[in-house]
Structures are given as C-alpha cells and as structure tokens.
Amino acid sequence: METALHGKHKAQAEAHDAEPMFDLIELLFFAYRDFVGDADRLLESYRFGRAHHRVLHFVNRQPGLTIAELLDILKITKQSLSRVLKELLDQNFVEARAGVADRRQRHLYATAKGRKLALDLAHLQSRRFARALDALPANARQDAIRFLMAMIDPSDQDEVKSLVWPQGARPAP
C-alpha cells in the first residue's frame, strides 16, 4: 500500500519502526542549556530571572506591545506575566502608556535602561551564535535559521516569521 506521497524521511516519521534520534534530542538539550546559561549569569546580577528576560526582550523588540499581545507571544498566563512585568515597571526597565485609540490598553516600551540591558543580553547570546557559526561553513547561518524555523509548530510558523522579521514599525500611540 505504499505510495510516492511520503517525504524522504518516511521511515523516521513513522514513530515506532525507527530508532529515535537520540543525538539530535540530546544536542538540542545541551545547546539550549548553554545558550540560556549565558543570559542567566548576567540576569543574576540584576536579581532577574528568565521570565524577566523574555518580557524585556520582546518589549524591546516590539515597542508599543500591549499586555494581550505579550501574553500571546509568551504563551503564559496573566498572573505569571504580571509578577515579572510589575518588577520591570517598578525598577524602570519598562514603561507603560495608556492607548490612544483604546484607553484600556497599556502599551509597553523599554526605557533607555531597559534597552541597554536587553541589548547586553542579546549581544551575549549573539556571541555564542557567532562563535558557533565561525566554526562552520558560510551557509551555516541560513541553514540554522531554516532548521529552527522548521522545528516550530507549522501552524505557528507564519506568526513567528512576522514576529522575527517585522514588516514596518507600528506608529506610536
């Protein structure tokens, strides 16, 4: 009953007659652990955790983000967000301005202080990518981008694309 419709990794796609890809599973685990470890060490000196990092990162990347949009990106609950957001607001890494069109909304912006920390963290993590890519052929960067994108749930890929490569900033409210 075989057809030609299957992809080239057919055997691997049919879970139980293929060896699991232990190598990829383990390498992704170790790579991600080291990747977040870089940021963890810097965050510690601010007494921030990973949750603060994620909020600050996306607010810095998308100035004017609302609470609801942030919740959608992070896929966490309001309560989990508000704990860390409150600290970022109190300590002046992020500021919130009421929406103009809809005054219920709070648009979030990184302050100068917040932008600096967000950039420091991004540079740290970029250094790891740069070191890795330096040891690989020139096309490795594009290959890595395509691989990581393909690993994301297909139903989310379009959304991630527009988040990662935004098409024109939104006007300030």
Enumerate binding residues for DNA (CB under 7 A).
47-52, 54, 66-68, 75-80, 82-86, 96, 102-106
Give the Cα separation of 173 and 166 in Å (integer): 18
Among 30, 112, 158, 167, binds a second copy (CB under 8 A): 30
How many chain residues touch a second copy (CB under 8 A)? 64
Backbone φ, ψ for residue 94 (5° rounding): -140, 145
By the rule CB under 8 A, 169 interacts with a second copy: no
By the rule CB under 8 A, 141 interacts with a second copy: yes
Instruction: Quote the distance between the C-alpha of residue 69 and its chain's center.
Output: 14
Amino acid found at 7: G
Give the Cα separation of 168 and 173 in Å (integer): 15
Give the CA angle between residues 119, 122, 124 to the nearest 5°: 110
Residues of this chain that bind a second copy (CB under 8 A): 7-9, 12-13, 15-16, 18, 20-35, 54, 57, 61, 75, 119, 122-136, 138, 140-141, 143-154, 156, 160, 163-165
